[in-house]
Structure 1
Amino acid sequence: MRLFKRLIPPTAIFVALLAVFATLGAAMTPDWQAEPLREHVSVASSQTTIQARDVSSPQEGTYQVSTTSMRIRLTDKVTINAVVRSPLGAPGKRPAVLFIHGAGTGKANEVYGDIASAMSSAGIVTLVPDKRLDTYGTFHRDYYAMARDYLVSLNTLRALPNVDASKAGIYAESEGTWVCEAMAGDDHAIPFMILTSPPAVSGRHQMAMAGNSYLAAVGAPPRLRHAVDSFVSLDFAPIGPNYADFPADRYLDRLSMPLLVNYGTDDLAMPIEQGAQDIATAAKGVGNSNVTVRYYQANHQMRVGAYTSKPGLPLEQHYTHDLEDWTNAVASGASASDWTTPKVAGTQPRQRFAVPTTIRPGLISTLPALLVLLVLVFLCPLVAGIWAIGIAIGNAWARHRTGESGTNRLGTDGDAYCAGYDDHNDVQHHNSERHHLRLPHKLAVALGANGFMSVAGVVSFAAYVVMAARDALSLTYQSTPLTVGWIVLRLIPLVDIALLTWLILSLWRTLRHRTSPDIASAAESTSGYVSSSTDQAWFSTSNSASRHEQGDGDPTFKPTGFPENSSMFRYEHRNYEHENHNRGEIVKPKDATFGFSRTAVIVLCALGSLLSLTLMAFFGLLTY
């Protein structure tokens, strides 16, 4: 029964803390999650061939390709390099294509070389310009400024002597398709567009779908996917990326020209089914039914040999042939009714998750708030540790200054001569009524454990996320390690709550005993130690009585039996001075405190634990 009673307080505190942080975690969890896609695209044929009625166009390899470099002046202060590839010997003015970079590419001579050369060998002039990088960064990208720059490059292509300006269209991949959409609003004369791997939605919505797709593909637990949802929901301003909320879906109705939409069925980053459906629906809404969709068993860059992007991978064997046939047919005037091949064809796609329709954050709604929380989780224990070291150094220096040695200290739990008193502090302030409590050993250990776990929990979660991200980006199936790791992670906040419970109880017991007399239960020795559950104190009833009998009214009274520089001497002398102490027992002053420094250490360690638990609740580790 006694053990049961002793377990009631810690159990109650633990359950209360768990309930608080579980509720907080639920409040911080977004009210949406990525759902499986239920409306799928059906291909009419597995063949990707594209043909139009009464159109005969040059095939790949018909012409030799001339490659030249040129400079394009975008503004008075900015000039970029570009590479032009032309079909040698092709008659008349030719159709042309301007290439727009996707994410991760920038130099004209480092990208699109194989695609542009293949199309040029089929009679199409191609222009690949550099990407202007002063408007394009990791966190801030201006797609409207990029659209204006690419329009300058498009007009440069139109002005080439072997190009038919009315037949100069655009090829774009991935992120570059957003630039296309912005260009379409500024230039209504663009005759056609080739959109390869287009997100068709905002970056935030695409990231939510892609994160869930990648993690599911490697066997990550569902709760980790929900943690991704929580992060994607955040408002990234003013840190970025600002392009997360580029309203791509709002500009789809600008696509009134003939469109060729291409997706790789191995591409987990893009909404390969929803994207095609959204583009076709938006185009139809503005009277454009000339939309052709092709699916290839390829990755995001239409390359084969790996699900992810790697250098040196070959293009899907039919891809460039289909680009050339479609471009030449459109340039020849093919309309929606002229195609003799299906509008939707190729490998049957399988998009696992739908793009969420709405994304709203939970209680923590901004990235800066989350980063502040993360910094404080590390900063609080760090400052507390440095402060505690400073206190220890100060104590040692004070003892050195007063000539004390370790042999004069009493107690085994780190307390001074009397339970909770700071001996060197009393030396410095012995004329003051204010006394500072030292940190008992158990309380100090509890503080250290809480500080360590608050950091260790966040570091462990970060390490797990890095491991999961590495597996996801490389598409390495690791279901068992990821599942076991998540289970272990979920135990960490429980340990953290247990340690916080221990800290609360240790602090409460320490503060409770400062106002309770430590009465000796066995005071048979005239000079000895009396142990209690929380501290030790010197006690002697006969000594106390004789002390008061001898010294009452004598301001010069000095207790005998102890050296004047010893802890016991100072303790006896101080107790004599405090007439309000009960005779025959040692009473701790009711105004005793930890002092500012020790209080700050306690507060910082506790705050670090609370913030760490809040962070883990945000990522779903306390959601049940």
Structure 2
Amino acid sequence: MRKKKGLLATAITTVILLVAFSLLGYVIAPHWVPQDSTATIDLGSTSTAIASNDTTNDTVGTYDVTEATVPISLDDGTTIDAIVRMPVARAGGQRLAASVPGCMLITGAGLGKATEVYGDIAWGMASAGVATIVPDKNMTDYSWQHRDYVKMAHDYEKTLDVLEAWPGVDPEGVGLYAESEGAWITPIIASERNDVSFSIMTSAPVYTPRQQMTYAIDDYFRVLDVPFPTNQITSRITTLEMSGIGPNYADFDVAPYLARQTQPTLFVYGTNDLSMPTIQAPEHARRIMADNGNTNTLVRYYRGANHQMRVGDAKAKKDLPLADNFIQDMADFAQDAKISETLGWSTPDVAGNDTPWQATDVDTDQLVSSVGSGLVGSVRGLLILQGGAIVMQLITLLGLPVLHFLRRRRIRKETALAQLEANSSPDSAATGNIIVKHEMLSREARRRPGFAEGMSGRLWACGLATFLTTLLWLGYVAYTAYSVFKLSTNHTLLVVWQGAARLLVVVCTAAFASLVVHMVRTEIAHRRKPLDERPSVSGAGHIAWTVVYFIGVVFSFIMFMYWGLFLV
């Protein structure tokens, strides 16, 4: 009967805890959830061609190209290399102008060496009559935690000075080309220097890195068909306050620089780019610029092009070909941008050979207002809770056998002393009291430090289940991150893995409920019969161990709530 009552109490407590933890999980987790996008854009033409009125440009391949590598000294003492590619007239071929326009090409995230990027784009533009320069990226203070886009812009300006002074280059016709992260840098340069003639921003995020990361991860999860609630991991990470650990550039806002950018600007996107809000981003940027007087902005979309404007695969791979007509369009814009300010464009402002589609909206208001909110409001707090849970559980799980060993050794020692005392008493021979009575030893054992009967097994069950579930879930999060990086995953594995984690969370809750119910029932029995029933935990060492144990378990349960594992 007592056992049945215990099982019933455990079942009721488990249900209550599951409901309570689900509600708490809803309260402490960020409430920002990506919304499906309904954004559309009207294309003025299915041709990506770019041309100003009354002009004709040379085509890619018209000129030979010479290359030269030059050293460039930066303000921090670093020396980088830059590759200059110049058009050269062929014998008997098209005559080259005395001075040609120029373009500095800025790389995206992580890419550093000029020898590894833009070889085909820079050569192609040069062969159409546009001098190009591709500099190394200064990587001395560049990491996933720290990036200073203003300093990077000033570093790139040293290269821009070199191109403007290069023989045969028109210093008033030099502009910028940037891809992805580089599009957070070019507006800084363009807003600070009136000598910049134009700006080409390819796969430009426009929004803050935090907002961009949120959009990209959610879009990847949709493409990979990541199951609920894992698809909400995005907001649980990107709405955390990141100061102190990084990235320090999460909330860099390029909008003030776009507002001061006066040059003709071209925004370019591929319709197979899974990481960019390809409709909202250019609209947002053009609206900022137009509100501040710059209406000379164009947008082009390329069918099947990925984030690097290459076709054949959504992932970045070497040797993929560029989108059709891409280099020619870039060269045409570079040559016509300056004159377009007086003659205008003969081609539409917005055009593309494919209609873009955007998965979700970049909801800037909700995202900004939710940053740092909730019980787990920062990356630091998340690491403390998650790391603390694992460390404390390891300590307690490894410490429990030690406590058992020390207690058993103490019992053996006390038993031996009691036996010796009994055998040495004056009346031991007369009474035959050679062996210590079992009842006396049992009574003494109840006064010794330790756990009550049934406690150790429940402590092991709850602690081990919670620890393994924590590892299983962190492994699942790591696997989804790897899937995003590789842009491929096993959907069945995700479903089974996630289901196992959520089932184990229920097991953890039941084990925790059984432990709590047993402790309460044991304490009640002890209060009623203090001499016959031992407390659930006694002794300073065992009590300290139990406190650490419960803190570790509670930390893990908070993490389960935060990740949404209790929500049904």
TM-score between both structures, scaled by the size of structure 1: 0.81
Q: Structure 2 matches for 1:34-53, cutoff 5 A?
A: 34-53=34-53
Q: Which amino acid aligns with 2:44?
A: A
- Post-superposition Cα deviations, 1:289-319, rounded to whole Å, max 9, x if no partner, equal 2211111121000111111111222211321
Partner of 2:511: 499
Give 1:82-121 correspondences, 5 Å limit: 82-89=82-89, 90-121=96-127
The alignment status of 1:439 with 2:484, answered yes or no, reads: no
SS in 1 for 2:229: helix
Instruction: Sort the Cα spacing of 1:292 and 1:409 in 2 relative to 1 into closer, same or farther, 3 A.
Output: farther
Q: Which residue of 2 aligns with 1:74?
A: 74
Residue 336 of structure 2 aligns with which residue? 329
1:58 corresponds to 2:2: no
**Per-residue Cα deviation, 1:331-367 (whole angstroms, up to 9, x for no partner):** 4446573323453223100111111222103332111
Which of 344, 351, 368 is equivalent to 2:358? 351
Once the two structures are TM-superposed, the CA of residue 151 in structure 1 deviates from its matched residue by 1.3
1:89-488 paired onto structure 2 within 5 Å: 89=89, 90-296=96-302, 297-333=304-340, 335=342, 337-341=344-348, 343-358=350-365, 359=367, 360=370, 361-398=373-410, 404=416, 417-418=441-442, 421=445, 435-440=447-452, 442-476=454-488, 478-488=490-500
Secondary structure at the residue paired with 2:299?
strand
Paired residue type of 2:191: G
Shift in CA distance, 306/409, structure 1 to aligned 2, threshold 3 Å: farther
Contact 2:190-2:263 at 8 Å conserved across structures: no
Mapped to 1, the partners of 2:176 and 2:47 lie a distance apart of 24
Taking a change above 3 Å as real, the CA distance of residues 439 and 595 of structure 1, as seen in their structure-2 partners, is same
> How big is the shift at 1:484?
3.6
Distance 1:193 1:396, change over 3 A: same
User: Once the 2 structures are TM-superposed, how far is the Cα of residue 172 of structure 1 from its aligned partner?
Assistant: 0.4
How far 1:588 sits from its partner (Å)?
A: 5.3
Give the superposition deviation at 1:398: 3.9
Cα deviations across residues 131-172 of structure 1 (Å, max 9, x unaligned)?
A: 111231110100011111111211121111221111110000
**One-letter amino acid of the structure 2 residue matched with residue 225 of structure 1:** N
After superposition, what is the alpha-carbon deviation per residue over 1:440-468, rounded to whole angstroms, capped at 9, x for unaligned? 45211111122212221121112222222
Question: Aligned-pair distance for 1:506?
Answer: 2.3
8 Å contact 1:173–1:197 — kept in the other structure?
A: yes
- Say which SS state the counterpart of residue 87 (structure 1) adopts: strand
Please report how far the alpha carbon of residue 516 of structure 1 lies from its aligned counterpart in structure 2 after TM superposition.
4.1
Q: Quick one: distance in 2 between partners of 1:140 and 1:76?
A: 17
Residue 427 of structure 1 is matched in structure 2 by none
State the Cα distance separating 1:29 from its structure 2 match: 2.2
| Letter matched to residue 233 of structure 1 | T
Which residue does the alignment assign to 2:430? none
Relative to structure 1, the CA distance from residue 76 to residue 447 in structure 2 (aligned partners, 3 Å threshold; closer, same or farther) is closer
Q: Is the 8 A contact 2:299 2:351 kept in 1?
A: yes
CA contact (8 A) 1:446 1:503 kept: yes
What is the TM-score when the length of structure 2 is the normalising length? 0.89
**4+ runs deviating over 6 angstroms:** 1-4, 407-411
Paired with 1:416 and 1:80, the residues of 2 have a C-alpha distance of: 85
Change (3 A) 1:448 1:253: same
Q: Please list the CA deviations of residues 15-65 of structure 1 after superposition, one character each: whole Å capped at 9, or x if unmatched.
A: 332233222211122232111111211223222122222111111111111
What SS is found at the alignment partner of 1:294? strand
Cα pair 2:452 2:534 within 8 Å, conserved: no
The structure with the largest alpha-carbon Rg is 1
Code of the residue aligned with 1:280 in structure 2: it is R
SS of match in other structure, 1:135: coil
Residues 67 and 391 of structure 1: is their aligned pair in 2 closer, same or farther, counting only changes over 3 Å? same
- Count of residues in correspondence between the two structures: 540
Q: In 2, distance between residues paired with 1:286 and 1:600?
A: 65
1:151-195 alpha-carbon deviations (Å, 9 max, x no partner): 121112111122111111000000011011222232233110000
- The alignment yields a C-alpha RMSD, in angstroms, of 2.7
Distance in 2, matches of 1:277 and 1:200, equals 10
The range that moved more, 117-126 or 17-26, is 17-26
Q: Distance in 1 between matches of 2:445 and 2:450?
A: 6
Amino acid at match of 1:60: V
The correspondence of residues 539-554 of structure 1 with structure 2, limited to 5 A, is none
Instruction: Deviation per CA, 1:79-134: give whole Å up to 9, x if none.
Output: 21111111123331110001112102001111111110111111111111111112
State the Cα distance separating 1:230 from its structure 2 match: 1.5
Contact 2:36-2:359 at 8 Å conserved across structures: yes
CA distance in 2, matches of 1:410, 1:357: 77
> Matches of 2:264 and 2:56 in 1, distance apart?
18
3-state SS in 1 of match to 2:185: helix
CA–CA separation in structure 2 for the residues paired with 1:378 and 1:357: 35
Displacement of 1:5: 4.6
What residue is the counterpart of 1:537 in the other structure? none
C-alpha contact 2:217 2:234 (8 A) present in aligned 1 = yes
The question of whether the paired residues in 2 share the 8 Å contact of 1:102 and 1:173 is answered with yes
Quote the residue 1:24 is aligned against.
24
The alignment partner of 1:84 has SS state of strand
Give the % identical residues.
Answer: 31
User: Secondary structure of the equivalent of 1:66?
Assistant: strand
Provide structure 1 residue ranges, at least 5 long, that are not aligned to the other structure: 423-434, 519-585
**Which residue of structure 2 aligns with residue 535 of structure 1?**
none
Aligned partners of 2:436, 2:353: CA distance in 1, in Å?
84
Q: 2:213 & 2:201 partners in 1: Cα distance?
A: 19
Task: Give the Cα–Cα distance (whole angstroms) in 1 for the partners of residues 334 and 277 of structure 2.
Answer: 24
Over 3 Å counting, the alpha-carbon distance change for 1:416 and 1:348 in structure 2 is farther
- Determine the structure 2 residue equivalent to 1:619: 563
- 1:409 and 1:275 map into 2 onto residues whose CA distance is 85
Maintained 8 Å contact 1:376/1:611:
yes
**Tell me, which stretches of 5 or more residues in structure 2 are unaligned?**
90-95, 420-434
In structure 2, the residue matched to 1:573 is none
Deviation at 1:70, TM superposition (A): 0.6
From the superposition, tell whether residues 621 and 76 of structure 1 become closer, same or farther in structure 2 (CA, over 3 Å).
closer
Q: 1:410 to 1:77 in 2, by over 3 A?
A: farther
